[in-house]
Amino acid sequence: MLNCTKFQLHQPRNGMILSSTFRFHCGSSPKGLKETLKSNLPKEEHVSRFLKRKWALRTPDTKINQIMISKDDLLQGGENLGNLSFLNNPQPSIGDYMTKNNRQEPSFYVVRDDLLHPLVNGNKARKLDALLPILEDSSVTDVVTCGGCQSAHAAAVAVSCAERGLKSHLLLRGEQPATLTGYNLISTLYGNVSYVPRSLYARREEMLLKHARLVARDSGFVFSLADLEASLSSHGCGEHSSHVDSLTKRSKKVAIINEGAGDAAALLGVLRLVEYLSQDHLFGKDQQLKIIIDAGTGTTAIGFGIGAVCLGLPWEVTAVMLADTIDGYQKKEETLISEFRRCFTLQRSEQTLTGSEPGLVHWVERRSPRKFGNILKGEVEICQKIAQETGILIDPVYTLAAWELASQLGQEECAKVVMLHTGGTLGMFGLAQRYKSYFEMLKDEYCS
């Protein structure tokens, strides 16, 4: 029976980040650890096999920009973004050029996943890339997921489900705002929103399962994504649908997507992106890269880490921790690796990750301490400065954290630095409600 009874993924907890600088956490020597993991993960040809599947995105293509950092301003103090100037090269020379030419000026690259879709973009689109076809092939009728009041993930699920004729049920943490805006407004327009007290939301797994059972009613069925993926793998797409239909007949079929799509199947869309970026005409397979990602649940960073090792890429994945502690992220890393191994390792005789080795991702603390979701004075102006100089919109909660680190490493490192733009910029509308005085300063500056 495919009924879901328990979910074991660990979700982020709000917490204070206590470091004022970027500090790296790693279980052991990265070089030695990578060699160990490389021998334990599926081979490159095996990865290509399980990436031959249905996808939500027609192609994995994405734009790549290069951000040049002003040399003159480096003399004024490079650690403060306000002392730097940025120039966007929207069509940089990459591929062979990157390998043959040493970098002349401080810079970093930005993978523009924020441009994938007007509402469903960034890592939200990548994580849903493999999930949505699983739902369709499984004849799912309803989807239950959760997130914060301004959750970009919840909005992405709502829009994507509506586009496919599915009903989405979104459990949002906290109270309904006086004015609906940003992702909260999108979620309300496209999905069925319920607001959940923080005390209940703290027990996410229990909350999701209980609500899914309410949606399914007495005659319906509740599935986890792991159940659906396992059934697809064992029966094939057409046979799988018939198999599920024979169990459920005309009843509701409710699937649960974890907060932030923190599911093993979500890793596949990220691996697809890694494979795309590793093509010879883009970043290639031999170029040393430092990949910078802002981490909410950490799923995207873990997917990049798995993809880099599976494909034998000399890429170092660094994630800026925003919503959890180092222990929480490392636990999430272990859990997702274990689930990935269980779902997508085809050969029993093939060695795979045990799920207990840390080190696929370098977890670092954000430069400035704050509780998750909060922003600091001056950060809205920094986002405005970057938007005006580059045409790239970032937000103070997520992508600014990655931009800060990419800017720092882009000045210091010999290896090429690549930031993944994870989207989520509609969250700025919600921040403008919460931090009116910070956004009033933008108006005052303009008027002056």
What does the alpha-carbon distance between residue 448 and residue 442 come to, in Å, rounded to a whole number? Answer: 10
Q: Return the exposure string of 179-213: e unless at least 16 CB atoms fall within 10 Å of the residue's CB, then b.
A: ebbbbbbbbbebbebeebeeeebeebbebbbebbb
- Please give the Cα distance from 418 to 64 (Å, whole number): 9
Residues 131 and 157 sit within 8 Å (Cβ to Cβ): no
d(CA 401, CA 260): 18
Looking at the DSSP assignment, which residues form a beta bridge with residue 178? none
Helix, strand, coil share of the chain (percent; to 5): 45, 15, 40
Cβ neighbours for 361, distance < 8 A, ≥ 6 positions apart: 298, 301, 302, 304, 305, 317, 318, 319, 329, 333
**Torsion angles phi and psi, residue 399, rounded to 5:** -70, -25
CB atoms within 10 A of CB 330: 21
Helix (H) or strand (E) run with residue 365 in it? strand 361-365
Q: At what angle do helices 237-248 and 122-137 cross, to 10 degrees?
A: 70
Residue 90: name the closest of 121, 71, 66 by CA.
66
Sort strands 253-256 and 142-147 into parallel, antiparallel or unpaired. Answer: parallel
If one counts every other C-beta atom within 10 angstroms of the C-beta of residue 94, the result is 19
pLDDT value for 72: 57
3-state DSSP call for residue 159? helix
* pLDDT given for residue 118 in this prediction: 93
CB 336 within 8 A of CB 9: yes
CA dihedral (188, 62, 399, 257) positive or negative: positive
CA 16 – CA 138 distance, rounded (Å): 40
- Residue 28 CB neighbour total at 10 angstroms: 11
Q: CA angle at residue 272 from 346 to 345, to 5 degrees?
A: 10
What does each of the 448 residues of the chain score in pLDDT, given as a tens digit?
A: 334 333 333 333 332 222 334 444 544 344 444 554 455 555 677 788 889 999 999 999 999 999 999 865 444 544 578 889 999 999 999 988 777 776 668 999 999 999 999 999 999 999 999 999 999 999 999 999 999 999 999 999 999 999 999 999 999 999 999 999 999 999 999 999 999 999 999 999 999 999 999 999 989 999 999 889 888 776 655 444 554 555 555 689 999 999 999 999 999 999 999 999 999 999 999 999 999 999 999 999 999 999 999 999 999 999 999 999 999 999 999 999 988 888 876 443 344 444 444 579 999 999 887 899 999 999 999 999 999 999 999 999 999 999 999 999 998 867 799 999 999 999 999 999 999 889 988 875 544 4
State the pLDDT at residue 73: 46
Measured between alpha carbons, how far apart are the two ends of the chain, in Å? 67
Sign of torsion over alpha carbons 133, 136, 139, 141: positive
Count of beta carbons in the 10 Å neighbourhood of residue 91: 9
Q: Where are the beta strands (DSSP E) in 182-265?
A: 192-196, 221-224, 253-256
pTM recorded for the entire structure: 0.85
Question: Which tokens hold the place of 304?
Answer: 């990049």
